[in-house]
Amino acid sequence: MTTDEHNTAGGLRAQLARVSNLDRRWIFLAMGLAVGVPILLKLRFPEVPGPLAIATFNAIEAVPEGSRVLIAFDYDPASEGELQPMANAMLHHCASRKHKMVFIALWPLGKQMADETIKNVLLAFHPQYQYGTDYVQLGYKAGNESVIKMMTTNIPQAFPSDASGKTLSELPLVADLESVQQVELIITFSAGYPGAKEWVQYAKSSYPDDFVLVAGSTGVQANQLFPYYPKQMEGMLAAIKGAAEYEMLVTAKYPVTKDKERFEEGRRRMGPQLVAHLLMIGLILLGNVAMVAGRSRQSRGGQGAVR
């Protein structure tokens, strides 16, 4: 190697090594652009429904039309980005199958999430749904898994009234509802504790053949739930990709004529996710190249010192 080449290589190594100390504000800016630009450009990529989304879709399809369904909104606005698209699609799916829906929440703000979904999806796309006979909002109940446990033996004890204060006997849909074993399907949108895991442990494990359990979960929680699929949870949607795939399946069979964007939220969010993931990979590679360059520079410096 000539002296010039040696100097050039050394300079490159030095520059790469300096990348290790890159101001994190540049990373924040890059991530902001990676997410923001695809949103503004409405960037979309083709999605192919995976086995989990297909299993979830089929599990709900297999429940007889017009069944009574319990839907638990176990999340809050922090997880709305991931879970709301699947909640929208599942409510549309259930309503298209004419299921009767009972809503509950084990998270304090879950009731608000359910209210919004009822307003924006159930009543907007299926205005024939009547409160009390087609759907009921039982609201939030403190107690985490003990609420689930109690619902397996005595629902009126766990929820003496609906969210507006009406006793269950006044509401035809739930007047005879004693336990969760009387519903055909339980759906939980789960962002953590309490959530899908607790529904498996305290409801499904005790009564494995009485109802179908389907969960929509955040990406970080998905790994904890995979061991329960498919025996203890017949269906499971993981993160925004699961929502995007499921949206495709639902809208293909039950298309909507107005406000289609409501059921394209998952797919719309996959564009920014792809670019953000590519940026992450790029950053990791860059960090490792900088580390190698830094080590190489150090070892050369060390040799020099010995000489």
Partner 1 sequence: MLRRTIPIIILSATGTMLVVAYFSPFTLSWGETVLDWFNILAAVAFVLGAGNLLAVNLEKVSSRKAGWAYAAITLLSFAAMFIFGIFKVGAVPNPSAPDVHLAGAYEGLPSAFGWMYEYVLSPLTATMFAMLAFYVASAAFRAFRAKNVEAILLLGTAFIILLGRTAAATLLTGWIPVDSAFAVLRLDNVTTAVTEHVSTAGMRAITIGIALGVAATSLRLLLGIDRSYLSKG
Tell which one of 153, 167, 169, 299 touches partner 1 (CB under 8 A): 153
The reply on whether position 40 binds partner 1 by CB under 8 A is no
The reply on whether position 298 binds partner 1 by CB under 8 A is no
235 contact partners, CB below 8 Å, separation of at least 6: 52, 55, 56, 57, 58, 59, 60, 212, 213, 214, 215, 229
- In the chain, the DSSP E strands lie at 68-74, 100-105, 135-140, 185-190, 212-217, 235-238
173 to 212: interface string for partner 1, x by CB under 8 A = ----------------------------------------
Nearer to partner 1, 31 or 256 (CB): 31
Nearer to partner 1, 96 or 144 (CB): 144
The type of residue at 263 is F
β-pairing, 100-105 with 68-74?
parallel
β-pairing, 100-105 with 135-140?
parallel
Piece in contact with partner 1 (CB under 8 A), picked from 94-102, 125-133, 178-186, 269-277: 269-277
**In terms of Cα–Cα distance, which of 81, 48, 116 is closest to 265?**
81
Piece in contact with partner 1 (CB under 8 A), picked from 9-17, 97-105, 109-117, 175-183: 109-117
Beta bridge partners of 69: 101, 185
The reply on whether position 37 binds partner 1 by CB under 8 A is no
The reply on whether position 288 binds partner 1 by CB under 8 A is yes
Tell which one of 45, 58, 176, 255 touches partner 1 (CB under 8 A): 45
Tell which one of 31, 54, 123, 256 touches partner 1 (CB under 8 A): 31
Residue with tokens 């205005």: 127
Residues binding partner 1: what is the number (CB under 8 A)? Answer: 60
**Helix, strand or coil for residue 96?**
helix
**In terms of Cα–Cα distance, which of 236, 240, 248, 243 is closest to 60?**
236
Piece in contact with partner 1 (CB under 8 A), picked from 8-16, 54-62, 91-99, 153-161: 153-161
Tell which one of 36, 66, 255, 287 touches partner 1 (CB under 8 A): 287
Beta bridge partners of 189: 73, 216
**In terms of Cα–Cα distance, which of 81, 89, 84, 62 is closest to 249?**
89
Give yes or no for a contact between 175 and 161, defined as CB atoms under 8 angstroms apart: no
Task: Determine phi and psi for 126, rounding to 5 degrees.
Answer: -135, 65
Nearer to partner 1, 102 or 244 (CB): 244
Tell which one of 13, 241, 262, 268 touches partner 1 (CB under 8 A): 241
Query: Which DSSP category does 100 fall into?
Result: E
CA angle (168 as vertex; 165, 174 as ends), nearest 5:
135
Tell which one of 48, 65, 127, 305 touches partner 1 (CB under 8 A): 48
For residue 36, the minimal CB distance to partner 1 (Å) is 11
195 contact partners, CB below 8 Å, separation of at least 6: 74, 75, 106, 188, 215, 217, 221
Tell which one of 10, 30, 120, 123 touches partner 1 (CB under 8 A): 30
Q: Which residues would be at the binding site for partner 1 (CB under 8 A)?
A: 20, 22, 24, 27-28, 30-32, 35, 45-48, 50-51, 76-81, 109, 111-112, 115, 141-144, 146-147, 149-150, 153-154, 157-158, 164, 219, 223-224, 226-227, 239, 241, 270, 273-274, 276-281, 283-284, 286-288, 291
